[in-house]
Structure 1
């Protein structure tokens, strides 16, 4: 809104005098070039069409024609041209009074509607084979159907999510270096981490006991094979100390069984003297 129209000299002087007499705490209606304005100008010019509002805006002659047909539920394949043309011309007369350039785009379609209506009033022309010619409205119907399809397709596309309107693109900056950067770790930190792992391993140790299958008969055979071909063998030589306590016990039991069956002899000359073992003598 432009409020810079010059005031007459008398009114301007009176306005300045009135403004000087106004109280300081009065709220200004507006500011004009930084100066407070406490009353509306009396010579403010408002164009006649500044407050006019068009409730219906169309994108072209076909859009207006399709709107008139769909609004009244007319069959698009059988358009009542008299009613549609009358309503179309009424709209054209309305916009021609305000915007002649815009109305010129609609006048061509109005002329086309009048031409089609006049052709329908005349007797139909016969073709060479004697049949009636095409309907004068056929070309208009084709254009309306194609326009409606394009309009519906545009409406469906408009409902799709649009970047900047319905969603925003997320942008993340990731710094990528040519050489990998490894963390700086001191030797003391590695030692502390290793000691912590060892301590946890000690807390989670498991002792599994397995049962070894040992045969007394097998060790009896081993003892007899060791004594075979030898006159005497010291008692301790029959025991394999590298195989553990269970093997020693089974070997001792095997020797006792052989002695009970009189297959070997265990002798000692005196107390604390070496103990010898030999095969039992059997006469031939």
Structure 2
């Protein structure tokens, strides 16, 4: 009998919580499973309230209703818009009366516009048409939509501490900068690169050669004293370069102009020969021409 009582007492000291509670417990409170809802638990009325659409004010609500139904913002059907707006206001009044105050003011404005549209149109004294009662509301809605779109574009820009963070690094100005070490093969590659660049740059010195037309005229006359006819191509030494050949040709033209040389050709396409002029064929005349040159 006593052994059974001791066994029952030992069982009462054990934890009666089942090991598997995931499928049985309603929740966990401070890490402990909760199987029954407490009778004194207070749940606020707005605890489980869910807002599917959040508006920032009456104009935001009106703009939402207009855009949702594709109404023309310059020709608003006030009857339908006022009815839908009042239905939303009634929902707000049942939940938050303080929040509904601003919306009620807009509702009064909508009702006033709707009433003014029902009245007959009375023309002005100057004959112009009266202003549309919806004009002021349309202007406010257009301005609000522009500001809202501008705010959305600004919100897309990167914002500090939201899209990026500013990094801070400690800099000690007294720290001595450590230069990197240069390895031998790196120095070799740098020297080879300098040699390759130097091979691409070549210098050419141009020296100015003094050439005298008079000297070449004298040279031609002296040569023609020993030869009666000299072929045109044999008169020029092409190995001395283009500048010498050009000056030599000018000297020959100058002698021809003065009548000291004659350029002859036996027939078309025949070789061209150069000889002394008839008036300078004599030895004395040739010597005088050389002295004059």
TM-score w.r.t. the length of structure 1 is 0.52
Which of 111, 115, 132 aligns to 1:114? It is 111
**Pairwise CA distance, 1:41:** 3.0
Q: Post-superposition shift, 1:128?
A: 2.0
Question: In structure 2, what is the Cα distance between the partners aligned to 1:138 and 1:23?
Answer: 71
For residues 21 and 146 of structure 1, the distance between their equivalents in structure 2, rounded to whole angstroms, comes to 68
Greater mean deviation of Cα atoms: 166-175 or 78-87: 166-175
Mapped partners of 2:93, 2:14: distance in 1: 50
Unmatched 5+ residue regions in structure 1? 1-17, 184-199, 201-284
1:19-98 counterparts in 2 under 5 A? Answer: 22-23=16-17, 25=19, 27=21, 29-32=27-30, 36-43=32-39, 44-98=41-95
Alignment root-mean-square deviation, CA: 3.2
Q: 1:173 offset after TM fit, Å?
A: 1.8
* 1:59-117 superposed Cα distances (whole Å, 9 cap, x missing partner): 00000000000111110000000000000000000111011011111000000000001
Q: Structure 2 vs 1, CA of residues 19 and 142 (structure 1 numbering), >3 Å: closer, same or farther?
A: farther
Residue of structure 1 equivalent to 2:173: 176
- Report what 1:10 is aligned to: none
Deviation at 1:129, TM superposition (A): 0.6
Q: In the TM superposition, what is the alpha-carbon distance from 1:123 to its structure 2 partner? A: 1.3
What stretches of structure 1 move > 3 A for 4+ residues in a row?
18-21, 23-29, 180-183
Determine the C-alpha separation between the residues in 1 that align with 2:172 and 2:140: 57
Deviation at 1:147, TM superposition (A): 0.3
The superposition leaves residues 198-256 of structure 1 with CA deviations (integer Å, 9 ceiling, x where unpaired) of: xx9xxxxxxxxxxxxxxxxxxxxxxxxxxxxxxxxxxxxxxxxxxxxxxxxxxxxxxxx
Q: Give the 3-state SS of the residue equivalent to 1:40 in structure 2.
A: coil
How many matched pairs?
Answer: 168
Aligned partners of 1:119, 1:101: CA distance in 2, in Å? 29
Report what 2:142 is aligned to: 145
Using the alignment, how far apart are the partners of 2:160 and 2:115 within structure 1? 50
2:109 & 2:60 partners in 1: Cα distance? Answer: 15
**Structure 1 residues 182, 99: CA separation in 2 closer, same or farther (over 3 Å shift)?**
closer
Distance 1:106 1:20, change over 3 A: farther
C-alpha change, 1:181 and 1:170, in structure 2 (3 Å) is: closer
